[in-house]
Structure formats: structure tokens, C-alpha cells
Amino acid sequence: TVGLLGYASPHSAPTAETCHPSCSLSKENCRELAALNLNLNISFSNTAKASQDFGHMYHDRPSAILYASSAQDIVAIVKLAYFSPNNLTIVLKGAGHSIYGQAQALHGIVIKMSTVVPFVEASGGELWIDVVKEALKKGMAPRSLTDYLYLSVGGTLSNAGVSGQAFRYGPQISNVLELEVVTGKGEIVICSEHQHADLFYSVLGGLGQFAIITKAKIRLHHVPPKVVQSLSLSLSLSLSLSLSLSRISYLILSYIIIDASYLGFLDRVHDKERDLRKSGLWYTPHPWLNLFIPRSRIIEFDAWVFKQKLSGGINGPMLVYFLNRNKWDSQMSEVTPSEDIFYAVSPRSAPTIGMLMDQNSKILYFCRTKSIEYKQYLPQYVNQDEWKTHFDHLCPRFRERKPRYDPKAILSPAQRIFWRSK
């Protein structure tokens, strides 16, 4: 059920700027615009770029540029101009190939139709690998993916969906245009940032608490057929020198550069999965810990966790990604540290499962005693106080949303956040 490729208006239009220092609209127009209280993508700065055209003879600078994504955006601005006592004018700029400034508006508003956004529609139970394969038929792929693609769309959108692309495009939950969901009251709702927005943001990163995702429109971008993949290989060698007093450890870093198909690159973890299935390790317990650590504390974390606690190696992969908080919408349910930059850190193995669990508790204890404002990703808590700490300032919103969409707490009980009521 993947495959309905289409085009939509852009996902996240910034809110309207109020009177900007460089704004040359009249104060009345600014007040009128602000009073409309619209979620318009309008810019009052850098308006010079709308005073250019192919002719390069006229350079009439507008007061503002509206990046319109719908007819409603345009209606709002036309009405503003229509009722404005200030002779406000409007022009739509297409590709800008006029010669005598025909697509310019001195002190007026230039409207640019925002480029449409390609998307793929997938059912909530679809695996990302199938979404990727379908999109690649059109030379596109989701902008943000997980390292491992045999996860379902609904499963990762209920958390965040983080990997190496997230620093640039945000997590997967920042790349959803629309959802079809079934709430805990049995209602089917189509939601997006424009309709039923509260439900839309509740569900994204909502740990399955508010609704079941039945369909998602996922933003795509064009991708090359091949990529140059650089695999970094770190080898820790211990040499015993015959005359030495001690053993000396070296860290040798080398890089292998390979040509890979785009699909091969995205699906890079699949081979590892096959190996782990063969060796049986896929079927052993996986008490994984995933943390978001704020940038200001990562040096301390590195000094104690990586350089001391894990200095002997971890006998497996460790994922470290840096992430930009401005790519996460704070209205979504997923919580992050409050700093602008934070790191996703996932030490995923130790020589034994017992040692891994011990290692996890020590890392968490270290973070707590050092008052590091960490957040668990894919959180696992057993009591309400821990959930409260996890959601801290967001807790009231998370709590308030539950009775609105799943009043009897029917959905996802195993997260142990809410308990089923009569």
C-alpha cells in the first residue's frame, strides 16, 4: 500500500514575522497583517532578491515576500491589500524572466508560489524498506530514515526516527505532511499541521498513546542513483613489545571509500542483520540504551563514558549522531534536551548481556549524579515519577492530550505511562 506518490504544499511554514526592523510596510499594514494571525511564510528581510528579473534594468524593492503554499495564503494577502487604506499592491512572481520589472512591486508584496513538495503515502504498517524502494522508482527517497529499514512507518513515527540524515532534515517525525489515524475513541481523523494539528503533533513521537497511525504522507527528495560511501574502520591494536614494561594500545583509523547504489547505502544494516540471524545473536535479549546528551555536557560524557567506562571497547557498534533541535517541532510529543545541539548516543553492546545492563545503569547513574539534562530515546521507565521527569515541562501537555484522544487509555499499555480505566 505504498506508492501514491504525489505533491503537497510545504510541510512547515514559519509563522508570520511581526514588524521587522527592515520592514518597509506601513505600520498600519503591519498591524493588519499581525491581526490576521495567520501561519504565513512571509519575509520582510532580504526583499532585494524580489527586485531582480531577466531584464536587469528595473529594481523595485518590495516590502515583503510571501511564500504562498495555498490559495488561502493568497486570499489573506489579497484581502489585506483590498481593505488596506495604504495603496498596498501585490504581484505574483513566477520564474522572473520579465524584462521591464513586470513581476516587481515597489513597497508592495511579491508572492512566490512555494515549490510543491513530493511525498509518498504509506500505510502505518508498511516497512520503510518498501517505502524507499517505491520512492526510488521515481528517483526519490524519504529525506530522513533510520539506519535499519525493516521498521514500520507507524513504529518509528511513534518515536522519532533518527539517523545520519536527521541533523540536516530532522528526524522522520519532522518529515510527515499528513497522517490518517484512528484515535482511542475509534474515530478516523486526517490530521496535519493545518488540520487537527494538536492530534497530528500528539501522535508524532507519541509512543502510540493517542492514536493508531493508519496512513502517513512522507516527504521525499530527489536522490542520486549512486553514492560514495565512506566506511570508517577503527582498529584498536594492543602490541606487546618484548622489551617493554607494559602493553601499548594504538587506535588506528582508516577509511574505505566505496561506490554504492543509493539503495545499497540506505539498506547498509541489512547484511549485518543476516549475519546476526545466522549466528543467533539476533535472537538474544537486547537491553539497548539510547540517549540524547546536550552538547554542553558531551565532553564530560566522553571523558567518563567513552574514555573510562567503555575504554576496553564494546564488542560491537556504537552510534553517535549530533542533532539540531531546530529541526524538531516542540509541539510534537517526542522530547529532547533543551539545548540547540544535542547528541544521540547508543552504546549497544558489551561482552555479555549482564554487563550491558550493568553498563547502562552506570551510564544513567553517571548522568543523573552529574545533573546532565539527558533524555532517553525509545524510553523505558517503570514508574510515573520517571515519566514525569522525562516529560518535565511537557508533561502537562502529554497528560492533557491523553483524555482528549484515548480517554480510557486503551492504546499502548506496555509503555506503562497510563493505565486502562473503565
Binding site for ligand FAD (CB under 6 A): 124, 146-148, 151-152, 154-156, 158-163, 207-208, 212-213, 378, 412, 415
Secondary structure (DSSP) of 338-379: SSSEEEEEEE---SSHHHHHHHHHHHHHHHHHTT---EESS-
**Radius of gyration, CA atoms only, the chain:** 26
The nearer residue to ligand FAD, 61 or 325, going by C-beta atoms, is 325
Tell me whether residue 65 or residue 181 sits nearer to ligand FAD (CB atom). 181
* C-alpha to C-alpha distances, 234 to 208, 231, 237, 253, 313, nearest whole angstrom: 38, 10, 10, 5, 11
CB of 329 to ligand FAD, least distance (A): 16
| Structural contact between residues 377 and 160, judged by C-beta atoms closer than 8 angstroms | yes
Of the pair 265, 304, the CB lying nearest ligand FAD is at: 265
The C-alpha atoms of residue 409 and residue 388 are separated, in whole angstroms, by 17
Measured at the CA of 3, the angle between CA 2 and CA 9, to 5 degrees, comes to 105
**Complex with ligand FAD: residue 96 or 287, whichever CB lies closer:** 287
CA 354 to each of CA 91, 304, 350, 358: distance values in angstroms, whole numbers, following the listed order: 67, 20, 8, 6
Q: Which is nearer to ligand FAD, 216 or 305 (by Cβ)?
A: 216
In this complex, which beta carbon is closest to ligand FAD, that of residue 164 or of residue 354?
Answer: 164
- Minimum CB distance to ligand FAD, residue 310 (Å): 20
Distance (Å, whole) CA 1 – CA 20: 46
- According to DSSP, the residues that pair with 112 across neighbouring strands are 67, 93
Please tell me whether residue 227 adopts helix, strand or coil conformation.
strand
Distance CA 353, CA 76 (A): 60
Q: How far is the CB of 216 from ligand FAD (least distance, A)?
A: 9
Q: How far is the CB of 75 from ligand FAD (least distance, A)?
A: 35
Three-state DSSP at 140 gives: strand
Least distance from C-beta 304 to ligand FAD, angstroms? 25
Q: Tell the smallest beta-carbon distance from residue 171 to ligand FAD (Å).
A: 7
Backbone angles phi, psi at 310, to 5 degrees: -105, 20
Quick one: 66 or 177, whose CB is closer to ligand FAD?
A: 177
Q: How far apart are CA 4 and CA 31, in angstroms?
A: 42
Q: Which sign does the torsion angle of CA 272, 274, 279, 281 carry?
A: positive
Which has the closest alpha carbon to 366: 295, 297, 317? 297
Please, what is the minimum distance in Å from the beta carbon of residue 230 to ligand FAD?
A: 18
Q: How far is the CB of 349 from ligand FAD (least distance, A)?
A: 12
Nearest distance in Å: CB 219, ligand FAD: 17
| Residue placing its CB nearer to ligand FAD in the complex, 194 or 272 | 272
Reported as type and span, the H/E element at residue 93 is strand 90-93
Residue 317 CA to residue 184 CA, distance in Å, equals 38
Q: What's the grid cell of residue 41?
A: 511564510
User: Which one, 104 or 159, has the nearer CB to ligand FAD?
Assistant: 159
**Closer Cβ to ligand FAD, 67 or 292, answer by number:** 292
Per this entry, what is the length of the chain?
422
What does the alpha-carbon distance between residue 233 and residue 10 come to, in Å, rounded to a whole number?
39
70 vs 415, beta carbon nearer ligand FAD? 415
CB of 383 to ligand FAD, least distance (A): 18
Q: Within 10 Å of residue 80's Cβ, how many Cβ atoms?
A: 19
Cβ 418 to ligand FAD, closest distance in Å?
12
